[in-house]
Amino acid sequence: MPTEAPAVRRRRFSPRLLLPARLDRYILGEVIGPFLGGVVFFIFLFLMFRALSLAELLIVHGASAATLGKMTMLMTIQFLPMVLPVAFLIAVLVGFGRLSSDSELVAFKASGVSIWRMSVPVMVLSLFVVALSLGLNMEWSPWSESASKNLLIKLSNTKVASSIKEGTFTSGFFDLLIYAEKVDQRTSRMKRVFIYDERNPKTPFTVVARTGEIVPVRTASELGSAAMLKLYNGSIHRSDSGGKLYQKIDFETYRLYLKIDEGAPNASWKPGMIPYRDLRRIIRESSPTSPEGREMRGEFWRRYAIAFAPLIFVYLGMGFGTVRTRAVRAGAALVAFITLLVYWTLLSAASMAIHRGVLPPIIAMWIPNLVVLMAAAFSFQRARW
């Protein structure tokens, strides 16, 4: 009689198979802690450099606590594209430095775990950092920089009189020379005002008034700044360029509209404020050899190069982290400082080369990553003992 074939037992899928191994969790625990701590530390450090600006918003412009909180959040988002790679490099150096100093790496290798196997969980974490950095560089950081600039313009419009000092000639006030004997910063009112307007060199004129006030004006674009200067009980003195004609006009109320248009020379604008889609559109419409085309293409590849730097920092941090030192954190800080100094120096030199048209943007912006990659390969090769 024919015998029945033995039943094939199928192995059931278990969700535990998706969980990382105990080794992976252990290594991630050594790296994630310093990484989160580094992010918090560097954000606090960068905000300390902006403390004076935030204090000016509170003291001079009278910003509320909510406004200061919003500005702090926007500044934090701007810093994150720089903070994340730096914190990740220090985290890998500290994590593997601690494993090396406690001879745990020796135990791992004695158990048959290679340095390549140890790099797997760190590489997975670096992919997460890269994805987050790409989102920040492409969309969130340009948005936060534009939003913070708009907020600063709105605050400056509400306190335009803060730039005028009592009893002092102030130049550069909307391209005017202005003097006021008394200035009330709270109400933006002035007494005994003198204004010299030479925006039109052919017909400059002088305005003298007993009192005046500054009223902010809403503009069509949030990237512009405007104000209405109202003067009362004064006179306008005007003469032609040859000095042959002199004109005096007395007035009870005189309104002078002051505006800085979007994109004006004295309005700040940076390529880093451009969203990814707009940056791609400008690149398509501009010539690769034009100054604008080189600058936009350099900005495009700079965002990618900085975002992918953590992939290289995995092997650089593991290579230098396995070198035994007495002070793990001090050694990690020193290696990170030297690496970042070299990296940002090369990045600045690459930007200059793009500006001068010496190198194509795609090559210039990836040179810092290639230099760090060679250092990472050298250090990681030494760690394979």
Domain assignment present for residue 267? The answer is no
Is the CB of residue 130 less than 8 Å from the CB of residue 307?
Answer: yes
**pLDDT digit string, tens, across residues 245-289:** 778 888 888 888 776 544 444 444 678 888 888 899 999 988 888
Q: CB neighbours of 306 closer than 8 A, spacing ≥ 6?
A: 81, 82, 85, 133, 137, 347
Q: How far is CA 284 from CA 273, 287, 354, 357, in A?
A: 18, 8, 18, 18
Integer Cα distance of 66 and 253 in angstroms? 37
Domain assignment of residue 122, given as a range: 20-156+273-382
Joined tokens for residue 51? 């403390």
Q: How many Å apart are CA 86 and CA 74, to the nearest integer?
A: 20
Hey, how many other C-beta atoms are within 10 angstroms of the C-beta on 335? 22
Residues 192, 322, single domain; the answer is no
Starting from the edge strand earliest in sequence, which strands make up the sheet with 170-173, in order? Answer: 170-173, 176-184, 189-197, 205-216, 225-239, 246-260
Q: What is the dihedral of CA 73, 79, 80, 84, to 10 degrees?
A: -150
On whether the CB atoms of residues 47 and 75 are closer than 8 A, the answer is yes
Q: How far apart are CA 286 and CA 294, in angstroms?
A: 9
Asked if the structure places residue 192 within a domain, the reply is yes
Whose structure tokens read 């512009």?
224
Please give the torsion angle defined by the CA atoms of residues 280, 282, 284 and 290, in that order, rounded to the nearest 10 degrees: -130
- Boundary of a domain, candidates 226, 260, 294: 260
- Domain check: are 59 and 79 in the same one? yes
Has residue 91 been placed in a domain?
yes
In this structure, are 204 and 116 located in the same domain?
no
CA 310 from centre of chain = 18
pLDDT average per 10 residues of sequence, the chain (385 residues):
48 45 87 92 87 71 74 88 92 87 82 84 94 92 85 62 75 79 80 85 85 71 61 86 76 79 49 87 89 90 93 89 63 81 91 89 93 89 71
Q: Give the count of beta carbons closer than 10 Å to the beta carbon of residue 296.
A: 23
Q: Are residues 104 and 242 in the same domain?
A: no
Q: Is residue 1 part of a domain?
A: no
Which pLDDT score, from 0 to 100, does residue 168 have?
A: 84
* 249 lies in the same domain as 362: no
Q: Which of 260, 291, 325 marks a domain boundary? A: 260
Q: Which two tokens stand for residue 201?
A: 């060199």
pLDDT tens digits, one per residue of 328-343: 566 677 888 888 899 9
Question: Is residue 266 assigned to a domain?
Answer: no
- Is 7 contained in some domain? no
Strand partners, 215: 228
Same domain, 253 and 319: no
Domain boundary among 209, 235, 260: 260
Task: Kindly list the distances between the CA atom of residue 169 and the CA atoms of 191, 257, 293, in Å, as whole numbers in the listed order.
Answer: 14, 20, 42
Do 279 and 360 lie in one domain? The reply is yes
pLDDT tens figures, 178-213: 888 888 877 778 899 998 887 777 778 889 999 988
Q: What are phi and psi of 198, to 5 degrees?
A: -125, 30
Are residue 24 and residue 143 in the same domain, yes or no? Answer: yes
Residues 103 and 212 in one domain: no
Confidence (pLDDT) at 10: 47
- Same-domain check for residues 35 and 149: yes
The answer on 148 and 30 residing in a single domain is yes
Q: Is 148 within 8 Å of 74 (Cβ atoms)?
A: yes
Residue 246 included in any domain: yes
Contacts of 238 (CB under 8 A, 6+ apart): 203, 204, 205, 206, 246, 247, 248, 249
User: Is residue 13 in some structural domain?
Assistant: no
Cα maximum dimension of the chain:
130
Q: Does 293 share its domain with 209? A: no
| Total domains, the chain | 2
**Cβ-contact 145, 272 below 8 angstroms:** yes
Quote the pLDDT of residue 241: 64
Where in the chain does DSSP place strands (E)?
170-173, 176-184, 189-197, 205-216, 225-239, 246-260
